[in-house]
């Protein structure tokens, strides 16, 4: 793997997700081109008019096309019924030209999200969020890993930040990030000692200060401050909060970067890597389905 230029901010190494995402996209494009440009298709399902969701989906399609993939969109109105949403997803499941399906979350409140995700076969679940995909992650079986936690691992690997034998705290326990992140860190190869902290953790500062790596994924703006971070620790910001139309992370970046050894920006850190890993999962989905050579 080629070396990546090291940028610093304050005293910390900046873990630049944009640069690594673009490198990943370029490698995917080269892989697809070398195979003769077979069609590798990512399809998204988006319900409603939520502006951030539309921005996220647009970015995913843009990068998929840059990687030489085919992208398709199923956009439904906010008032779509459960049956209409399930019909749209089922049609993509049956379409042999579609290899990966991403249902953009959150869905409108009147839609049963679990029932929609349950329609996705493991091979096409490129977001890695279904019961089957998460179960395979627990069992250590081949399958798609949730994109954001996988992106965090890619950033750590790329910057040679060791996890073996290290203490890591994951702040947040969602099925989307916190719990799969914990599983990735404790499985063989990563071999970290992991604490999962949450709103009921009474000694949050002490737990964080004992950690070599902090992964903040609670969705609570700037909750991780300089007093949470021991000098030289790695701080990964996953949480996203919108305040006055600006994206704010779970980490108080300006204060923490002066203490941390390495830190992700927000935006520009874990978000771009989520897209990179989605595209990697989509190529692997095509391989699983026999549409792309191994």
pLDDT in tens, 11-59: 799 999 999 999 999 999 999 999 999 999 999 999 999 888 999 999 9
In angstroms, rounded to a whole number, what is the distance separating the alpha carbons of residues 174 and 46?
21
Query: Is pLDDT above 90 for 180?
Result: yes
In angstroms, rounded to a whole number, what is the distance separating the alpha carbons of residues 154 and 150?
6
Query: Is pLDDT above 50 for 1?
Result: no
In angstroms, rounded to a whole number, what is the distance separating the alpha carbons of residues 5 and 207?
32
pLDDT of residue 4: 55
In angstroms, rounded to a whole number, what is the distance separating the alpha carbons of residues 86 and 92?
10
pLDDT 10s digits, 245-276: 888 999 999 999 999 999 999 999 999 999 99
pLDDT of residue 8: 63
Task: Please provide the average confidence, as pLDDT, over all residues in the chain.
Answer: 95
Rg (CA), the chain: 19
pLDDT 10s digits, 196-215: 999 999 999 999 999 999 99
CATH architecture of 37-121: 3-Layer(aba) Sandwich (3.40)
Query: Which residues make up the CATH 3.40.50.720 domain(s) of the chain?
Result: 147-272
- The pTM of the full predicted model, rounded to 2 decimals, is 0.94
Query: Which residues make up the CATH 3.40.50.10860 domain(s) of the chain?
Result: 37-121
pLDDT of residue 11: 74
The CATH homologous superfamily of the domain defined by 147-272: NAD(P)-binding Rossmann-like Domain (3.40.50.720)
Residues labelled as active-site residues = 60, 104, 127
Parallel/antiparallel/unpaired status of strands 7-9 and 12-14: antiparallel
pLDDT of residue 10: 63
């Amino acid at each position: 793997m080629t070396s990546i230029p090291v940028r610093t901010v304050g005293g910390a190494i900046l873990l630049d997700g944009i640069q690594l995402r673009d490198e990943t996209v370029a490698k995917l494009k080269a892989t697809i081109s070398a195979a003769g440009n077979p069609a590798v298709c990512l399809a998204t399902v988006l319900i409603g008019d939520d502006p951030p969701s539309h921005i996220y989906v647009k970015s995913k399609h843009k990068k998929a096309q840059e990687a030489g993939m085919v992208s398709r969109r199923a956009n439904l109105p906010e008032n779509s019924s459960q049956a209409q949403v399930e019909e749209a997803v089922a049609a993509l499941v049956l379409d042999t030209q579609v290899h990966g399906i991403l249902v953009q979350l959150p869905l409108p409140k009147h839609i049963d999200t679990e029932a929609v995700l349950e329609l996705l076969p493991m091979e096409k679940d490129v977001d890695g969020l279904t019961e089957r995909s998460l179960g395979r992650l627990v069992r250590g079986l081949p399958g798609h890993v949730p994109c954001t936690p996988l992106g965090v691992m890619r950033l750590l690997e790329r910057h040679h930040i060791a996890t073996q034998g290290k203490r890591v705290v994951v702040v947040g326990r969602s099925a989307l990030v916190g719990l799969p992140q914990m599983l990735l860190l404790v499985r063989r190869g990563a071999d970290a000692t992991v604490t999962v902290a949450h709103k009921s953790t009474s000694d949050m500062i002490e737990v964080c200060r004992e950690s070599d790596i902090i992964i903040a994924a609670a969705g609570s703006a700037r909750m991780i401050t300089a007093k949470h971070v021991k000098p030289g620790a790695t701080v990964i910001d996953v949480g996203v909060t919108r305040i006055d139309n600006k994206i704010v992370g779970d980490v108080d970046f300006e204060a923490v970067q002066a203490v941390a050894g390495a830190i992700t920006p927000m935006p520009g850190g874990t978000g771009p890597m989520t897209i990179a890993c989605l595209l990697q999962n989509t190529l692997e989905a095509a391989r699983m389905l026999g549409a792309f050579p191994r």
